[in-house]
């Protein structure tokens, strides 16, 4: 479809289990590929990003058998070195999957041969310089083909010597994650020091947790300094993947915006994914949040107004777009801070969010590392609660078409606005295939329950 128009909803009462985490699935795939023996990934996500990772691994000589019906992937690991030709170029096309190109640039360095990793036009604008510099510090021969620290990447792999590397942590945690996952196979002990602040520390904790599940020792003698003993080999295993916490944020936000109660199953407060912290933002806005043994429940009654908040989303920036849409329905402005890394994602997400929010007639201000969102007028908020005076609203609020910039999170987050505002149309809804192909079908199911 070229577009989809969201129909407003009464308060929602539903349960849902989102598909598996993209972040965990792609980490587990990359690690299982270099493990010794067979791995079975249970609850794995089937999406464009994970398909890109699987396709790249197959081109690197790995057997990957995907059973999407049962959400399982069986990977026959190579024991550390991808079985590729040492003479010929191995070309890996990573589309717009940041995890794929960043993880595999590092993981391929353990092998012996020549690799070229490339992607779509937007990928060629996304930075890789810190990762490439970190690999060079560890003795790897790697460069940006156009000498601009962006893809395509040219890698002449002959194993990772190891040693010491310093890497900035303020652009993307995926650079550090890629290095961490690759260096267990280095010839000597490796120490990686993070300089400056570390974006999204929960994603590093996630990476280390997955590494340890496959048998690797990772030490952190001081904060943000990581020591990995040499010549370790990942061990194949059965690994269960959590539902995607970023995907869950759109359903939690639905309860906040439309009212009612949403329960997300198989996701807990102690999940590997830091994005469960989004629920704490909703709690500060006035929602009720319950952490159950095997689920998280978010609810809001019509009598409970949403409050504007001032929040640092540095560690959970993938849910900042969701919160920005919820902020439309608060009783005061909301400011989201410390998310400069959003500017180098699938699109410049700070600018894109502010641009689309303004289509609702509200004030939205962007600054270097965040944004402030001013809510809809009180009379509109009152009439949209529980769909009061919907016909009058249709006369006073013009239809809004939301551009998505080929960014899956733009499409999913702005769909939430359509739960209370008539005429919200999402352009290019198919872009959700990147991480959640069935999002709009699931979104409608939740509304209808």
Q: In residues, how long is the chain?
A: 449
Identify whether the C-beta of residue 329 lies closer than 8 Å to the C-beta of residue 374.
no
Q: So which residues are the catalytic ones? A: 318
Name the phi and psi angles at 3, rounded to 5.
-160, 165
Name the phi and psi angles at 236, rounded to 5.
-55, 145
3-state secondary structure (DSSP) of residue 55: helix
Element (H, E) at 254: helix 245-258
What's the CA gap between 315 and 278, in Å, rounded?
A: 10
What's the CA gap between 105 and 118, in Å, rounded?
A: 10
What's the CA gap between 77 and 3, in Å, rounded?
A: 41
What are the angstrom distances between the C-alpha of 39 and each of 43, 103, 234, 370?
13, 18, 10, 41
What's the CA gap between 285 and 278, in Å, rounded?
A: 11
Show Cβ contacts of residue 395 under 8 Å, excluding neighbours closer than 6 positions.
Answer: none
Q: For 73, left (φ over 0), alpha (ψ -120 to 50), or beta?
A: beta
Q: Quote the tokens at residue 143.
A: 């460069």
221 burial (CB, 10 Å; 0-12 / 13-18 / 19+) is exposed
* Bridge pairing between strands 89-93 and 112-118: parallel
Task: Please name which of 31, 29, 116, 9 lies closest in space to residue 80, comparing C-alpha atoms.
Answer: 31
3-state secondary structure (DSSP) of residue 203: helix
What's the CA gap between 412 and 248, in Å, rounded?
A: 11
Element (H, E) at 191: strand 190-195
What's the CA gap between 425 and 415, in Å, rounded?
A: 8
Task: Please name which of 355, 361, 304, 286 lies closest in space to residue 328, comparing C-alpha atoms.
Answer: 361
Alpha carbon 413 to its chain's center: 13
- Sheet containing strand 238-240, strands side by side: 63-67, 72-76, 38-42, 238-240
Task: Please name which of 123, 180, 171, 159 lies closest in space to residue 342, comparing C-alpha atoms.
Answer: 171
Q: Strand pairing partners for 45?
A: none
């Amino acid at each position: 479809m070229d577009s989809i128009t969201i129909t407003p909803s009464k308060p929602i009462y539903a349960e849902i289990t989102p598909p598996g985490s993209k972040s965990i699935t792609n980490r587990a795939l990359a690690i299982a590929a270099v493990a010794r023996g067979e791995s079975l990934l249970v609850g794995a996500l089937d999406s464009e990003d994970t398909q890109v990772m699987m396709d790249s691994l197959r081109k690197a000589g790995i057997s990957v058998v995907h059973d999407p019906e049962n959400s399982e992937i069986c990977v026959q690991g190579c024991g550390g070195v991808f079985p590729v030709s040492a003479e010929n170029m191995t070309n890996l096309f990573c589309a717009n999957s940041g995890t794929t190109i960043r993880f595999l640039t590092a993981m391929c360095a353990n092998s012996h041969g020549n690799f070229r990793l490339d992607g779509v036009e937007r990928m060629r604008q996304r930075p890789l310089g810190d990762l490439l510099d970190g690999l060079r510090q560890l003795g790897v021969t790697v460069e940006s083909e156009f000498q601009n620290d962006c893809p395509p990447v040219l890698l002449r792999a002959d194993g990772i010597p190891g040693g010491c590397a310093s890497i900035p942590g303020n652009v993307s945690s995926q650079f550090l994650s890629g290095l961490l996952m690759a260096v267990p196979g280095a010839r000597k002990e490796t120490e990686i020091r993070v300089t400056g602040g570390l974006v999204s520390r929960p994603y590093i904790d996630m990476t280390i947790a997955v590494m340890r599940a496959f048998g690797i020792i990772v030490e952190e003698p001081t904060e943000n300094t990581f020591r990995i003993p040499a010549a370790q080999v990942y061990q194949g295993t059965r690994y269960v993947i959590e539902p995607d916490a970023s995907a869950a944020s759109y359903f939690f936000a639905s309860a906040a915006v439309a009212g009612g109660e949403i329960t997300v199953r198989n996701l807990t407060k102690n999940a590997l994914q830091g994005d469960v912290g989004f629920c704490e933002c909703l709690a500060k806005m006035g929602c009720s949040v319950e952490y159950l043994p095997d689920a998280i429940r978010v609810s809001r009654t019509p009598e409970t107004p949403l409050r504007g908040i001032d929040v640092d989303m540095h560690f959970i920036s993938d849910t900042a777009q969701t919160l920005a849409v919820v902020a439309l329905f608060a009783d005061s402005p909301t400011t989201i801070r410390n998310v400069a890394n959003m500017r180098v994602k699938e699109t410049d997400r700070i600018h894109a969010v502010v641009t689309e929010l303004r289509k609702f007639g509200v004030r939205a201000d962007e600054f270097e590392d965040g944004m402030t969102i001013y809510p809809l007028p009180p009379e509109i908020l009152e009439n949209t609660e529980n769909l009061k005076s919907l016909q009058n609203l249709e006369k006073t609020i013009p239809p809004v078409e939301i551009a998505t910039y080929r960014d899956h999170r733009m499409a999913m987050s702005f769909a939430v606005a359509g739960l209370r505002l008539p005429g919200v149309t999402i352009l290019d809804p198919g872009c959700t295939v990147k991480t959640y192909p069935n999002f709009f079908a699931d979104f409608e199911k939740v509304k209808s329950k």
